Structure 1
Amino acid sequence: MTDHGNILDSATVYLSGPMDFVADRQQEAVSGWRVRVSQFLLSRGVTVYDPWNKPEVSGMPHYGKEDELSTSRRTEWRYEGTDAARAKRDELCDLFWPTLHVDLRMTDLADFLIAYCPTNVYSVGTVHEIALARQQHKPVLLVTPRLELSKLDELKHHLKGDDKGLKILEGLAQETPIRPNPEAIPSLWYMAMLESEDYFFDGFGFADYIDEMGWKRNDLLDSREEALPPRRPLLRYLDRLNREIPKRFDAAGREEVENADWLIFLDDQVRMRPDA
């Protein structure tokens, strides 16, 4: 049996979050948050499913593999009513299905999800994966980081006195999700979907583990948490979770009860076979 204090040693996690609209797709795959969280969890015995490094499909080694070509093909999309445009739309709709299929299958197999949901990055697959996990009554640990957007303030200061420039910047902010979120308030929809306050975090808390894990500095990750330190960091929670499954408040919010979302089966249990 799994010893008390090694709960995560039997667990499988899927790392959900934006991929298409990150600032630097290549850097994200090599040194982004998934890399650090994967290393942290692997050191605690967790099996990690990472969409940047999809598992090989038995008998179909190339099925669902994703690369830069996969996303660049969407520029071929056209809305013309011609047969050629219609055929191209159908082709593109089919093209990404294997990748979606593999990612949702990893969601199926995971005991819980870690979802990174910054409020300034557009993401569709993340929402789909969160919804699927919650339909299966799995915990989704959602990280909505604190966002100050200091560069936006710097640009406003730089354009002071430039009425035309400030107007253009204001228009840009209206057209894109350039919104500060210093309190890390998640979407109201996520609040309803996740159902428990215990599943929300305002950062990872990498600084607490940077020496233990030997991580090299990542300015994008580390400078943000240095400027706005998370008050409820995910990694500390995971270490506590490794010792004891956290309780949640009952529906009335009056007392703490066992959280039955956390169904992590012991890895030494043997499946029954017809010939057993």
Structure 2
Amino acid sequence: MRTRKRHSELLQGARVYLSGPMDFVASRAAEKHSGWRNRVGQFLQEFGVTVFDPWFKPDVRGLHEYGREDIKSGDRIKQRWTYASGTKAAKERTWCSKQFWETLHIDLRMVDTSDFMISYCPTNIYSVGTPHEIIMATQQHKPVLFVSPPIVFPTLHKMRDHLAADPKGAELLKQLESEIPIKENPRAIPSLWYIPLVGGENFFDGFGFARYRKKFGWKHEIPIDRHERRFPPKRPLLPFIEKLNRQLPKKWDSKLSKFVPDDDWLLWDFEMKKIRGKHVVTVRR
């Protein structure tokens, strides 16, 4: 009797780190409890992937609470930061540095431990840690799957219309746009520095959550859902990952003028039994 040929499951046992802004987002609480990482992590676990999420750092043996980060940990550091001179101020800055070093250290170790990385980088959100993580991953020749969504400000356009007959108000709004600054990016073009860093085939203009909401029970609507209804992704991430589980991606070779194997995709084959993936979290409560 012929047996059915099993499809290869390339992501089984792989490890991925979820990178993206955490500090200057609209709400750290919402980002932690219902942000994109929750859904992407759940999606990846279906393929047997171990997910490293910086909101839920793993415990470190022998170092209790090392690098633990919550929605208010950054505020505690900012409250003690100072530009003053003298011994007391130097001690405060040293304390701030030491406090966040643990977070930086453990996040970069998760990048080290991962096989590839997923980064969500809207061009309107300031971030420092995310570029650091992306650069580190690319230096280690690890693939970075980079999501850069369209950026528009509908309320801004409504405000312009509202102030059309108010020259003073319109001028103040224009000045505010310059001071912030407010820059739209409707074509979802990533910051140009990232393009050669990440590689042309690893960019996406959205997640494509809509196709999977029923399957995964994502009943609660998040802002990304509304955004992707208005701007349906042309190259969504989740279908790419689904295909990645069966076939490794290729990269474009400009010299040969064709797609060739991408040897950054080194996924270890330990002949593991098929298991459900994990979202790495602390074991302590």
Please indicate, yes or no, whether the TM-score normalized by the shorter chain is above 0.5. yes
Q: Where do residues 73-88 of structure 1 align in structure 2 (5 Å cutoff)? A: 73-88=77-92
Alpha-carbon contact 2:35-2:222 (below 8 Å) kept: no
- Is 1:159 equivalent to 2:163 in the alignment? yes
| Cα distance in 2 between the residues matched to 1:116 and 1:28 | 12
Tell me which of 259, 262, 265 is aligned to 2:265: 262
1:130 matched residue in structure 2: 134
Tell me which of 195, 201, 205 is aligned to 1:202: 205
Structure 1 residue 146 displacement after superposition? 1.1
2:220 matched residue in structure 1: 217
| Cα distance in 2 between the residues matched to 1:251 and 1:138 | 21
2:67 matched residue in structure 1: 64
Higher RCO structure, 1 or 2 (CA under 8 Å, sep 6+):
2
Cα RMSD (Å): 1.4
| Cα distance in 2 between the residues matched to 1:48 and 1:75 | 32
2:111 matched residue in structure 1: 107
TM-aligned CA distance change 1:83 to 1:171, over 3 Å = farther
SS at 1:147 equivalent:
coil
Deviations 1:46-69 (A, max 9, x none): 110000111111122300001234
| Cα distance in 1 between the residues matched to 2:147 and 2:49 | 19
**1:99 partner letter:** T
SS at 2:235 equivalent:
coil
Q: Which runs of 4+ in 1 moved over 4 A?
A: none
Alpha-carbon contact 2:34-2:222 (below 8 Å) kept: no
| Cα distance in 1 between the residues matched to 2:109 and 2:150 | 31
| Cα distance in 1 between the residues matched to 2:69 and 2:124 | 24
Q: Which moved more, 1:234-243 or 1:247-256?
A: 247-256
- Is 1:98 equivalent to 2:131 in the alignment? no
| Cα distance in 1 between the residues matched to 2:231 and 2:72 | 36
TM-aligned CA distance change 1:86 to 1:171, over 3 Å = farther
For these two proteins, the number of residue pairs brought into alignment is 266
Q: Show structure 1 runs of 5+ residues with no match.
A: 270-276
TM-aligned CA distance change 1:158 to 1:219, over 3 Å = farther
Structure 1 residue 4 displacement after superposition? 3.9
Q: Show structure 2 runs of 5+ residues with no match.
A: 1-5, 273-285
Instruction: State the TM-score, normalizing by the size of structure 2.
Output: 0.89
**2:19 partner letter:** S
**1:89 partner letter:** R
| Cα distance in 2 between the residues matched to 1:233 and 1:215 | 17
1:24 matched residue in structure 2: 27
